[in-house]
Amino acid sequence: MKTIDELIDGGIEGKRVFVRADLNVPLEGSTITDDGRIRAVAPTIAKLAAAGAKVIVASHLGRPKGAPDPKFSLAPAATRLGEILGKNVSFATDTVGDSAKATVAALANGEVTLLENLRFNAGETSKDDAERGAFADELASLADLYVGDGFGAVHRKHASVFDLPKRLPHAAGDLIATEVGVLKKLTAEVQRPYVVVLGGAKVSDKLGVIDNLLKKADRILIGGGMSYTFLAAKGHEVGISLLQEDQKGKCLEYLAEAEKRGVEFVLPVDVLVSADFPDLKTKAPANPEVVATDAMPADKEGLDIGPKTRELYAAKLADAGTVFWNGPMGVFEHPDYANGTKAVAQALLDSDGFTVVGGGDSAAAVRILGFDENAFGHISTGGGASLEYLEGKTLPGLAALED
Q: Which residues are annotated as a binding site for (2R)-3-phosphoglycerate?
A: 37, 119, 156
d(CA 305, CA 92): 46
d(CA 309, CA 222): 10
Task: Report the SS3 class of residue 270.
Answer: strand
d(CA 211, CA 131): 35
Residue numbering of the annotated binding site: 22-24, 37, 60-63, 119, 156, 206, 302, 333, 359-362
Q: How many C-beta neighbours within 10 Å does residue 388 have?
A: 19
d(CA 212, CA 233): 21
d(CA 222, CA 208): 15
Q: In the chain, what is the greatest distance between 2 CA atoms, to the nearest angstrom?
A: 67
Residue numbering of the annotated binding site for substrate: 22-24, 37, 60-63, 119, 156
d(CA 134, CA 322): 44
Nearest to 41, CA basis, from 61, 58, 64: 58
Task: Report the SS3 class of residue 115.
Answer: coil
For residue 220, give the amino acid letter. I
Q: Which residues are catalytic?
A: 37, 202, 360, 384
d(CA 379, CA 152): 12
Under 8 Å between Cβ of 193 and 320: yes
Separation of CA 385 from chain center: 7
